[in-house]
């Protein structure tokens, strides 16, 4: 990577902006980490959605904080053409809401204009013409550092940064290679380390500690991936983030603690579930098909409000028992609205939110999962 260019950018950015006001820093969250990904909230509220408790309309950010959530996860797309949301301006709005509620933020860099996941890691359209891996690495570094610096100018710097989303396959693939699951680890490590270094440099320059997360979908994929990452000198990060959905994982709930303990001890890193979910009903609130159906259920945890709550408490207990940091839920506020996805109008997740679509989006018992009294003997 041409770090001279990155260093020059760093000097120019720092000299042209004010340092963050330390009186407005949001502290690092303390374990247990109990969070929510609220990336959809701005969009669905702009599309006439609302949330209630005891019949009164509530602000979701404030309510999650009141119930005990201590981190909010937010996705960032590079330049989404399909939506005016999850771009830089929308993320600023979301971070401001989270910080006003007193909650830390995990900013999830997708390094794409749209969803990336274990089967798809598509580079941003603006970077399509980049053929040299060193130039791509410079682009990752400059974009990451500049984004964090611009947030810091407005005292909106995140406390955690996620370098890529569900990066099971090689990141930043060209469009004609999307879905290729063969990883060129020399290139993959170069690009991941560029994002990591940008976050480290930001943290050093702005004297604001930032924890760095790498994220793999499903625990059964993580041990080999992080071993390969370590062999290729991808090591300067703090936290292993996992997606854990029983629908797609070969790990049963009662064996999850073994996987987390193995990752934690093998790589000497903290471990957290950054994505999970469970349905509270099998009913659909709109015409957008729900992703989590009957095949997402496991024995003893029915698709009911109490079943959802009990599943989340059990899952979190297993994570903490193994020494993991905690659990972040995806996406508990994606209720139905007039907003559209590429696949339909409404929500594909309305049966897995923490709100009852059949009762004016009234808050459900799943919010009890944020009560640390459930885990008082499982963390220090």
For the domain that residue 38 is a member of, what is the CATH number?
3.20.20.80
Do residues 272 and 328 make contact, with C-beta atoms less than 8 angstroms apart? Answer: yes
Average the pLDDT over 105-123 and give the result: 97
Overall domain count for the chain = 1
pLDDT at 308 over 70: yes
Domain membership of residue 207 (yes or no) is: yes
Please give the pLDDT value at position 111. 98
User: What is the C-alpha to C-alpha distance for residues 250 and 241, in angstroms, rounded to an integer?
Assistant: 17
Q: Which residues on adjacent β-strands are paired with residue 35?
A: 71, 328
Please give the pLDDT value at position 4. 46
Q: Is 377 exposed, middle or buried (0-12, 13-18, 19+ CB in 10 A)?
A: exposed
Active site residue 275: yes
3-state SS class at 164: coil
User: What is the C-alpha to C-alpha distance for residues 201 and 192, in angstroms, rounded to an integer?
Assistant: 14
Instruction: Select from 311, 307, 346 the least CA-distant residue to 327.
Output: 311
Domain membership of residue 27 (yes or no) is: no
pLDDT at 376 over 70: yes
Cβ-Cβ contacts under 8 Å for 281 (sequence gap 6 or more):
303, 304, 305, 351, 358
Domain membership of residue 170 (yes or no) is: yes
Percent of the chain with pLDDT over 90: 88
Domain membership of residue 351 (yes or no) is: yes
Average the pLDDT over 101-122 and give the result: 97
- Residue in 122, 166, 270, 318 annotated catalytic: 166
Q: Phi, psi at residue 53, to the nearest 5°? A: -145, 125
Please give the pLDDT value at position 377. 87
Instruction: Select from 328, 325, 331 the least CA-distant residue to 370.
Output: 328
Q: How confident is the model at residue 20 (pLDDT cuts 50, 70, 90)?
A: low
Q: Which residues on adjacent β-strands are paired with residue 76?
A: 109
Domain membership of residue 42 (yes or no) is: yes
3-state DSSP helix/strand/coil % of the chain, to nearest 5: 40, 15, 45
CA dist 81 → 70, 88, 127 (Å):
32, 13, 14
Average pLDDT over the chain, rounded to whole?
93
Q: Phi, psi at residue 289, to the nearest 5°? A: -65, 140
Active site residue 45: no
Give the domain range for residue 101: 3-13+33-375
- The tens digit of pLDDT for each residue in 59-108 reads 999 999 999 999 999 999 999 999 999 999 999 999 999 999 999 999 99
Question: Both tokens of residue 199?
Answer: 């976050």
- Is pTM beyond 0.85? Reply is yes
Cβ-Cβ contacts under 8 Å for 253 (sequence gap 6 or more):
246, 298, 311, 314, 315, 318
Please give the pLDDT value at position 241. 98
The runs of H, that is alpha helices, within the chain are 3-15, 41-46, 60-67, 88-100, 133-153, 185-205, 219-231, 256-267, 305-321
User: What is the C-alpha to C-alpha distance for residues 216 and 229, in angstroms, rounded to an integer?
Assistant: 12
Domain membership of residue 223 (yes or no) is: yes
- Residue in 122, 170, 270, 275 annotated catalytic: 275
Provide the pairing of β-strand 355-356 with 362-363. antiparallel
User: What is the C-alpha to C-alpha distance for residues 117 and 206, in angstroms, rounded to an integer?
Assistant: 31
Domain membership of residue 19 (yes or no) is: no
Of 19-33, 53-67, 329-343, 364-378, which range is least confident?
19-33
Q: How confident is the model at residue 117 (pLDDT cuts 50, 70, 90)?
A: very high
Cβ atoms within 10 Å, residue 65: 19
Domain membership of residue 111 (yes or no) is: yes
- The tens digit of pLDDT for each residue in 271-306 reads 999 999 999 999 999 999 999 999 999 999 999 999
């Amino acid at each position: 990577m041409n770090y001279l260019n990155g260093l020059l950018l760093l000097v120019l950015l720092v000299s042209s902006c004010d340092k963050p006001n330390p009186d407005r820093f949001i502290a690092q969250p303390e374990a247990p980490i109990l969070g929510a990904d609220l990336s959809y909230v701005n969009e669905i509220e702009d599309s006439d959605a609302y949330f209630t408790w005891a019949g009164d309309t509530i602000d979701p950010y404030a309510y999650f904080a009141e119930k005990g959530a201590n981190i909010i996860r937010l996705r960032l797309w590079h330049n989404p053409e399909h939506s005016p949301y999850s771009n830089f301006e929308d993320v600023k709005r979301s971070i401001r809401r989270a910080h006003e509620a007193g909650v830390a933020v995990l900013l999830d860099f997708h390094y794409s204009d749209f969803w990336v996941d274990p089967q798809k890691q598509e580079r941003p359209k603006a970077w399509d013409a980049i053929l040299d891996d060193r130039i791509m690495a410079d682009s990752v570094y400059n974009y990451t550092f500049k984004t964090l610096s611009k947030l810091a100018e407005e005292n909106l710097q995140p406390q955690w940064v996620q370098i890529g989303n569900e990066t099971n396959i090689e990141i930043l693939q060209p469009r004609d290679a999307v879905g290729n699951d063969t990883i060129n680890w020399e290139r993959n490590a170069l690009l991941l380390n560029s994002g990591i270094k940008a976050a480290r440099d930001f943290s050093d320059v702005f004297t604001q500690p930032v924890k760095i997360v790498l994220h793999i979908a499903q625990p059964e994929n993580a041990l080999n991936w992080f071993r390969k990452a370590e062999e290729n000198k991808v090591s300067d990060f703090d936290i292993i983030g996992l997606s854990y959905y029983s629908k797609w994982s070969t790990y049963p709930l009662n064996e999850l603690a073994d996987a987390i303990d193995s990752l934690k001890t093998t790589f000497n890193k903290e471990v957290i579930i950054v994505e999970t979910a469970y349905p509270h009903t099998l009913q659909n609130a709109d015409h957008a098909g729900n992703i989590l159906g009957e095949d997402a259920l496991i024995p003893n945890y029915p698709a009911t409000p109490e079943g959802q709550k009990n599943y989340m408490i059990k899952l979190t207990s297993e994570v903490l028992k193994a020494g993991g940091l905690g659990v972040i839920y995806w996406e508990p506020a994606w209720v139905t609205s007039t907003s559209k996805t590429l696949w339909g109008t409404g929500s594909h997740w309305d049966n897995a939110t923490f709100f009852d679509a059949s009762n004016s989006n009234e808050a459900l018992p799943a919010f009890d999962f944020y009560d640390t009294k459930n885990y008082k003997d499982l963390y220090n």
